[in-house]
A and B are shown apart, each in its own frame.
Chain A
Amino acid sequence: SQQGEEDPQALSIQEGENATMNCSYKTSINNLQWYRQNSGRGLVHLILIRSNEREKHSGRLRVTLDTSKKSSSLLITASRAADTASYFCATDARSNYGQNFVFGPGTRLSVLP
């Protein structure tokens, strides 16, 4: 079963609007990370939020984490056409190693000019 699942699967917005993507997971985590992937390219790390943090900002990105609901959200403000990409959350399932990352299926974001 998937640890992380993003919602919605696809999102289409106009340039300048905000985009919100959600991620739900099943087991306890040490941290949660968000990545972006442009079509046909590798993944790029956006932001990492630890289990004891509730909110984190980086430029136009805002990530929240609610461990009681096992969910996270990624907000992109003032979106640009260049933000068009797939966005994935990744969680590290707590174990003796804590190094096994599980990615969700992703949200495909389209920002229309």
Chain B
Amino acid sequence: GAGVSQTPSNKVTEKGKYVELRCDPISGHTALYWYRQSLGQGPEFLIYFQGTGAADDSGLPNDRFFAVRPEGSVSTLKIQRTERGDSAVYLCASSLVDGGWASYNEQFFGPGTRLTVL
């Protein structure tokens, strides 16, 4: 079956612009995570959805970052007034949920969106 997909694969934008990054999780996966990864670093947690609601958004760096998952499947990460420091690979992952706990299951990662802010 299809894995996690992310679009676009690459996005180049100018400082100050608005961008949207999309994630299509594996069908049936209730849990969805967004991470960002800088070169040579591990993924940095941004936000976790269980269903339509953001169960944990403690990793969002500031109020320029926002994510939605209106129907409990596809999610969009939105970044306003982009800054050069936002340049990174943005990763999405999904997983099953057992008894309310997604963390007991492996996460399936998408290939990522490479965002470059000029």
In the complex, what's the smallest C-beta–C-beta distance from A3 to chain B, in angstroms? 10
Residue in A30, A45, A103, A106 whose CB lies within 8 Å of B104: A30
Residue in B40, B41, B50, B111 whose CB lies within 8 Å of A99: B50
Interface of A, helix, strand, loop or mixed by DSSP = strand
A66-86 interface code vs B (CB 8 A; 1 in, 0 out): 000000000000000000000
Given known A-B contacts A41-B111, A42-B111, A45-B108, A100 and B91 have beta carbons under 8 A apart: no
Q: Are A44 and B101 in contact (CB under 8 A)?
A: no
Residue in B48, B50, B91, B101 whose CB lies within 8 Å of A43: B91
| A residues less than 8 Å from B21 (CB atoms) | none
Kindly identify, within residues 70 to 113 of chain A, every residue whose CB is under 8 Å from any CB belonging to chain B: 88, 90, 92, 95, 97-106
Name the CB-closest residue of A to B59. A100
Given known A-B contacts A99-B102, A99-B103, A105 and B108 have beta carbons under 8 A apart: no
State which size class the interface on A falls in: 20 to 34
Q: Are B56 and A99 in contact (CB under 8 A)?
A: yes
Q: Are A45 and B31 in contact (CB under 8 A)?
A: no
Q: Are A101 and B103 in contact (CB under 8 A)?
A: yes
Q: Are B44 and A103 in contact (CB under 8 A)?
A: yes
Given known A-B contacts A97-B56, A103-B42, A42 and B104 have beta carbons under 8 A apart: no
B97-118 interface code vs A (CB 8 A; 1 in, 0 out): 0000111111111111000000
| B residues less than 8 Å from A92 (CB atoms) | 103
